[in-house]
Amino acid sequence: MSIKKAINGWVFFAHHFFILLEQTLTLLKLEVESELVVELLNLPAFVVAPVFYLSIVYFVYPNKVWKVKDFLHFSFGIFYLMLVLLKFFVPDLMKKSNAVGDSIQAVLSLLFLGLFSIQLLSYAFYSYKTVAEHQKTFNFSVQIRKILTSNG
């Protein structure tokens, strides 16, 4: 088994583990009192779409080499992680007791909802586009193979 397949398997396993862990904690009412843990459990939601897209890209183009710029796909998740850690280490920044804290939290909530929706839709669109292009190429090569075998 190649290293790429092994890594893909472990990434798949890790993402599903965290998603199922979050759902299990919610269903069993065992949510941790710490907001940090709850918000960290939401982190996989921000990286599932890029992982889905990259898994399709690497399936369609198996010889593609990972580049440093490919880490940019995870920038939204890293940004979310930085905000969560900032909120944890600088708790006065987002206190709900003042109007500034309320407005900052409201703006960040709307911003993240919009960006998250855009991220999901764009990765779904590009995943579909990649698969559709691959299907056209695949169908074309199958047709050529049929022509060559029927003439032989």
- Interatomic CA distance for residues 105 and 111, integer angstroms: 10
Tell me how many degrees the CA angle 58-124-46 measures, rounded to the nearest 5: 85
pLDDT digit string, tens, across residues 36-53: 777 777 788 888 889 889
Q: How confident is the model at residue 136 (pLDDT cuts 50, 70, 90)?
A: confident
Q: How confident is the model at residue 143 (pLDDT cuts 50, 70, 90)?
A: low
Query: Average pLDDT for residues 129-137, to the nearest whole number?
Result: 86
Query: Average pLDDT for residues 116-136, to the nearest whole number?
Result: 90
- The domain containing residue 103 runs over which residues? 3-151
Helices then strands (H, E): number in the chain?
A: 5, 0
Q: How confident is the model at residue 20 (pLDDT cuts 50, 70, 90)?
A: confident
Query: Average pLDDT for residues 90-102, to the nearest whole number?
Result: 65
pTM equals 0.65
- Interatomic CA distance for residues 3 and 62, integer angstroms: 12
Task: Transcribe 91-147 into DSSP letters.
Answer: GGGG-TTSHHHHHHHHHHHHHHHHHHHHHHHHHHHHHHHHHHHHHHHHHHHHHHHHH
DSSP H or E segment with residue 38: helix 35-41
Q: How confident is the model at residue 123 (pLDDT cuts 50, 70, 90)?
A: very high
pLDDT digit string, tens, across residues 79-93: 888 888 888 888 776
